[in-house]
Each structure stands twice: as structure tokens, then as C-alpha cells.
Structure 1
Amino acid sequence: MNLTINGEGAEITLESEETLGELLSGLEDWLAGSGYSLSGITINNEKISAGSIGEVFDRKLSEIDVLDIQTSNLFELLLEALIVARDILEAYREAAFDSRQEIQQDWEGSAAASFLSHRNPELFGIIDAALSGEGLSPDQVLALTDERIAEISAPQQALLQLETIIDGVSQRLEDLPLDLQTGKDSRATETVQLFSNITEKLFRLMAYLNSRGFEFEYQGDSGATFDNFFEGFDATIKEMLAAYEAKDAVLVGDLAEYELAPRLRLLFGILKKSAEKTV
């Protein structure tokens, strides 16, 4: 079998794989680790779209003479899926009530829904619920998809718009010990949620910038790299959230004020410096 990836020769050694499904399942994990995903295949000059690949999983490799595997960047596929989701949400919002079920069914059978359900199940669930008349309203989910589309399309601009928000959340983290001590539980809960949301957004933007070749400059103590800094920051976030769930107010307050607030400011500063280089 002549095997290529995006038309280029590929050195892939078959082991015990006998069917196309077995081969592609192994390749998908490897592709994901490289930031790519399967977007289509061509079998003996017959093109198969991503949405129809499951129909040929049982095809015997011994029956295939030429196989070309098409791949696409995961973030590009995510952007395409979000644009489709946005169009469907707009159609759903504007449609008469008796037409909405058909739109929902179109969504459920779409390649965009399949991609999001595997790659971003949380976001898929939010969109799916809105199209079922549950959860957030279509307008609210449209605003969310617009935000995510903007992050992927223009990560530099999206990042640079966050400076005031980062300052505000950092200050809230520094205030968290006092809020916990004085019984301002609702404000404390809001602070933790705000911090969680903004760090998730920063992590997404960091990934999008990195995929475009941006480098993050950091030189810590004893030669610590940016990866070292990020791993420590991520571990401290998990420690604080675990302490919050355990209602350990002292540890939550200490971590928020002395560890997370300064590290949040530092992370944003590192990303901002990188993003500003070509804006």
C-alpha cells in the first residue's frame, strides 16, 4: 500500500493493523500530539470526507492500493467548527418555533458538532443545550462563540484587551483572605470563578499564540524556564481549587494573595511582551 499524508510520503510501519479503522485510530493520537487532526482521506483516488470516515473503518488494508490521509491544524478546525456553530445558532434564534427542531437535527448531524463533541465537550454541551431550548439562551451562546472565534482569529488583540481585567482579578485575589475572614462568601466565590475563567482564557490564548510561532521569554531563578514557571503556576491553581473545595480558608487565602496574584500578573506580562512584538 502506498501511504501518504497530505500528498507527501509517510514512513509509517504497520504492525498488527488489519483495517483502516485500526490504522487511523493509532494515527489520530499521534496527530493530536502534533497539533493536527484527521480531516479526510482518499482511498484509491476516492475522496472520503471527515464526516464519512466511520463508514469505511472496516475496509481491509489489503484491499487498499493508495491511501492519502489529509490532516488540518486543530485550531483551524476548531475555528471552522465555531463558525458553523455560530451560523446555526443565528438560524435557530431567527427561526419560527416549528422550524427549530430541523435546525437542531442539522447541527447534530454536522461535522462541526462531531468535532466539538470530541475536542471541546464542555463547549459542545453549551451549544447543544441552547439548541435544545435549555441552558443559556442562543444570544448568550452566540456571544460566547464570537469570543472564542476572536481568540483564535486574532489572539494578540484578544490578549492585549485583557490588561484591565487582569489587574482587577489580581486585586480580587489579594483581597480574598479578608473576604473569607469577614464572611463575604459570595464575593469570595465570585473571585474564584473570575480567576478560573480568566486563567482558562489566558491558557487558550497562550496555545493560539504558540501555534503561530510566538515565543515566551522568561528567565527565573536557577535558570528556570517558562515551561517551569507555567507548570508551577498550573500546580498552584490546582492546589488552591482543591483547598477551596475542602473549605480550607487559610490555605486558599495564602495561595491567592502570595502565589496566584503575582503569578497571574507575571504570566500576563510575559504573554503581553510576546504579543506586542508584531502588533
Structure 2
Amino acid sequence: MRQFTAIVNPTAGASTGVAALLRVARLLREAGAELETEYTRSLEHAQDLAREAGARKRVVLAVGGDGITGAVGGALSETGTPFGLVPAGRGNDFARALGLPTEPDALAPILLEGSPRLVDTIEVDSAHGRTVALGSVYAGVDALANRHANHTRLLRGAASYYFGGLRAVATWRPAAYRVTVDGEEHTHRGYTVVAANSAYYGSGRIIAPDARLDDGLLEVVMIRHAPRLLFFSLMNELKTGTHVNRPEVEILRGREIRIEADRPVPYGTDGEVDANLPVTARVLPGSLAVLC
């Protein structure tokens, strides 16, 4: 029987993280599993807790949204430690890409009996240091929108991202990007560049429909400059992924992507935004063992 350490973000989804864990924990313990719970003070603290639990050969659970999922999963990348998710945040995009349920009755059997699946992660290098992300690295108006969403207290879930997007687009000036994919340079002027390991970001938006978590590649989605009204239409198409058919959207694929810009442009990873370009993203194939 598996032994679990749950690492909880008590503020995820307006404190739904604790409630979500309680429902799943009852089912795990009724099945005979051991479960210990650790509450985080920060994402860095969550990473320390994850490494310590992994060193004790425990299954590590991230309880919350994409921020804590990315932090804990990044800490466990290349360690072989089994990693599980209890989705309880605003976005839950990595859980969505894995096809994980949120209902405790459906999730608990996966955590108890599911075989680990090896998926890719993203090594992220910048002047701020090295980190590991799970879903994507995005640089531009979407990172600015994410920053606004993270500071919105009156709205939750997709509504906070939509509000953040409106605010970001209203003030965005097109940036001139230089994007280097596996050594080949591309120039681009517009709204964003996304290096995607997962199809989803921004609370269920399908930014890269063909992205796969285990193919050893990143999908590079570049959205060029367009009139604001057209861009709002394009944003709406992110719900289905049909934006990729627009001429303003170019998609490349590669293993290492360097993103630079002609001015300070924010970039984010897994729902967290705290740095500006330049940044380099490299795929780490099969580096994380996820229960799914």
C-alpha cells in the first residue's frame, strides 16, 4: 500500500485545497494507505517539502492549482519519485492535460492503484536562475494577464483570467521578439510567444492543441500583431483551439527555445509570473513520473 505526503496550498481556489484533500484523504485512509499532510508557506517551501518526502520514498501529492503543481512537480523532476495531483485551484491545467478527474471517488483509485506515467518537463533558464516547469513558458500579453489575474481577489477561476486578459490587452504594445528554436532564429512582432509542453493554459484555454506531454518536444505558438478587436476574437477561439488556423498564428516545434524581446516583457510558467525576458526553455524528456 502506498504512503503519501500531501503538500497543500491552503489558499488555492479560495481555500478549497484543504476541503478537496479532506474528501480524498478519507478514501485513501479507508483503503489502508498512510497519508501525512504538510502545509506550505511558499512555493519554495513546497519544493523543499517535496524533495524531503521523495527522499523518504513516499508518493508526493500536490494539492492546489497550477502554481503548487508546477513547483512540486518541478522539484521532483528527474528524481523518479511518484507524483500525484489533487486539483483544487483556479486553473488546474496540468491536471486537465493528464485527464485527471476532480471528483474524489474517481481520483482516489488513480492515486491508490494508478501506474506512473513518464511525462516531459521544461527546464527554464534565465537571469533569475534555473527552474523546472510542467505546462508552458509564455512571454507577452498572456503573462501580463496572468499577473493581473493573480492579483484579482473579487473573481475566481476562468473569470479572473478573462478579466486579466481584458486589462492586459487594453494596455499592450506589440513587442519585437527574437525566437530561437533549436538554433534557428525567427523574428516576430506581436502579442506573445508560448513554449508549450501541455495543450492547456490560462484555465482551460487550448493554446497548443497538438502539444503532447510525452513526445520530447515543445510546441512554440507565436501570435503576431493584429487589431485589438481581431485579437479578442482570437482569444475567444482559445476555448476550442481553432485560433491555430488564423494567419496571425505561427507554430514551430523544438527541444530548446530561447525567447528575447526589444523591451522588458514579462514571462510566466505554470500560472506564476515574476520575471522578464530573456528566457530559455529546454524539454526534459520523460523526467516526471505522474499517477494518472
TM-score by length of 2: 0.27
Say which structure, 1 or 2, has more relative contact order (CA 8 Å, 6+ apart): 2
Greater Rg by CA: 1
TM-score by length of 1: 0.28
Higher helix share: 1
Higher strand share: 2
